[in-house]
Structure 1
Amino acid sequence: MLSSTKEKMIAGAADLISRQGVAATSLRDVVHHTGTPRGSLAHHFPGGKQQMLEEAVAYADHAVAGPLADLLHTHGPVEGLLAFIAWWQHVLEVSDFEAGCPVLAVAIEQGSVMDTLGDEEVGARERLRLLVHGAFSSWQGIFAGSLVKAGVEDERAKSLAALVVASVEGTVAMCRAARSREPLDSVTRELHAILKLTLQQVPTSEKNE
């Protein structure tokens, strides 16, 4: 449960960005979407849209990292990934395939971010880039760690983690375009097969408890 007006606004900004992108999401849109007082903008976001974007990306990073880490810890890399993808399928279907990943939306729109923000602050675009990179790296690190714990060699685990994150992120976008979960179902089958084969090839002596 969101405990403050600011948290509600950040979550609302992330939701809007996931649906309509950065350029189409204004501060006024966030106020309307969240039902919060317009005066809260200046109080909670003195840095304007730039600050809200940065905090929305950080929020989205943690919103994905938490469930991903929990599912992998509980179920292991193969079943944990399937459960995580099922979570994404639920997000897509509940939103009628309108909601995607706000982090990916910011990454795609980096070229237009400064047009939206203006030239008011040097380094604004770079800060957003680093936040997006940090989110993707965090998710990859979580998944790679689960594979290493299951006995997969470190470099192989990193490569597979990059494949998984890229596949899920890209396929979520494909599902939104198709208004169907079929692309994600297809990619899930392939990822499942690759991970099962990888873990079958791990010597028993290499598997960590």
Structure 2
Amino acid sequence: MSPRQSDTRERLVGAAADMLARHGLNATSIREMAKWAATPLGSTYHHFPDGKQQLVIEAVTLAGARAGAGLDRHLQNGTSAGLRGFLAMWREILIRSEFHNGCPVMAVAVEEPLGEADDDVLAAAAAVFRDWEGKLILALRADGITPKLAQEYATLIVASVEGAIVLCRAQRDIAPFDRVSRRLGAMVASAIG
């Protein structure tokens, strides 16, 4: 693949992730993704012969990896600092986008596809959520939390962050996110002593 072809492919995946975060799964079409990426529509089908499903899976995987890398980076400073950093990252996304952007992974997890059954798309979203939980579990375990409790805290953290994003987008207000962040921070600080 030439550098130019690779750039086109990367732009399409990035555009798909951006559009999923802003508009959701069903409002994101191949045509609009190509337009957002400033690429010819034919390039989309060249790079993604399986169509929208293939592009969405790659976009979810990319978005999940980016957020996961941020989580990894923040967790290097310990669970409490890592959680604060992860929350700050999502808080900035909400504020910078004026509450128009959410989580592209959540977008595909909560919408029923309009076309064919997209189990592969849901599997990609589930894999991202499991990855984030796994990173949190490892950090919590390193801080002495039991495996069962680490799993419960990790699930609670991921679900709480995703839910707070939804509340903020609906209310166009950061207050729900800040309340959830404070409670999660207090919970983790108390758990790890």
Q: TM-score, normalised by structure 1?
A: 0.87
Deviation at 1:71, TM superposition (A): 0.6
Give distance in 2, aligned partners of 1:30 and 1:149: 41
**Segments of 4+ in structure 1 off by > 6 A?**
none
User: How many percent identity over aligned positions?
Assistant: 39
Give distance in 2, aligned partners of 1:156 and 1:196: 14
Larger radius of gyration: 1
Pick the aligned partner of 1:194 from 184, 187, 191.
187
Give distance in 1, aligned partners of 2:25 and 2:119: 15
Deviation at 1:152, TM superposition (A): 1.0
Q: Structure 1: which 5+ runs fail to align?
A: 201-209
Matched letter for residue 84 of structure 1:
F
Pick the aligned partner of 1:53 from 45, 53, 56.
56
Matched letter for residue 100 of structure 2:
E
Pick the aligned partner of 2:155 from 157, 162, 166.
162
Correspondence 1:111-122 to 2 at 5 A: 111=112, 113=113, 115=114, 118-119=115-116
Correspondence 1:99-178 to 2 at 5 A: 99-109=101-111, 111=112, 113=113, 115=114, 118-119=115-116, 125-178=118-171
Please name the residue that 1:80 is paired with. 82
Matched letter for residue 167 of structure 1:
S
| Aligned residues: CA RMSD | 1.1
Correspondence 1:27-66 to 2 at 5 A: 27-66=30-69
Give distance in 1, aligned partners of 2:86 and 2:152: 19
Give distance in 1, aligned partners of 2:82 and 2:99: 23
Name the count of aligned residue pairs.
188
Q: Structure 2: which 5+ runs fail to align?
A: 1-5
Please name the residue that 1:181 is paired with. 174
Deviation at 1:95, TM superposition (A): 0.8
